[in-house]
Amino acid sequence: MELLIPGLILVALMVWASTKIKKTAADAFEAESIEAENYSLQKPEGFLHVLVDSEHELYAYSREYGEGSSSKLRRATIEIDILKSASLAQVRDEIKNAPDVEIVREIPAESELETDESANESSIRAFYKIVGTQNEIYRLRFAVLSAHLDEYLDRVRDTLDSFSIRSN
């Protein structure tokens, strides 16, 4: 009997901790507004924002993976890169050189492009928003496995529309 009460207390604490951890993990995939020093972005629901990424200014990925030969790839990713040694025209032209590029919008300091790409023999539709400031170029890339494009189109458009640069 003297082990029953401490055992029940331990089980109750483990259940409480497990529930708390599951809730925190689920909250990480909720939509959120990301406010950085020079830009802001509305991260869509179903994406996890990686807080420290060595390759990108911002990196987020979908909860779900692809299927079949794409089963090791996330269905969608969001990346922001800040390019200091390139011009808007250079960054735009680099993307324009890819096959099957569609220019969605182009004004002097901003471009939106869509292109078909591939990764590990998987077809990807990539959406770019490139914004130039006086000293830097911001490149937002939202990539979606082509097989899952329809389920992400609304989130792509909302994310591209929400991306804005604050000039100092």
Convert the pLDDT of each residue in 62-119 to its tens digit: 989 888 888 889 999 999 999 988 888 888 888 887 778 888 888 888 899 999 988 8
Separation between Cα atoms, residue 62 and residue 151, nearest integer Å: 12
Q: The domain spanning residue 154 has which CATH number?
A: 3.40.1000.10
Torsion angle of alpha carbons 100, 122, 142, 117, nearest 10°?
Answer: -20
Separation between Cα atoms, residue 25 and residue 86, nearest integer Å: 38
**Strand pairing of 110-119 and 122-132?**
antiparallel
Q: Give the H or E element holding residue 87.
A: none
Same-domain check for residues 89 and 110: yes
Domain count, the chain: 2
pTM attached to this predicted model: 0.82
Same-domain check for residues 130 and 143: yes
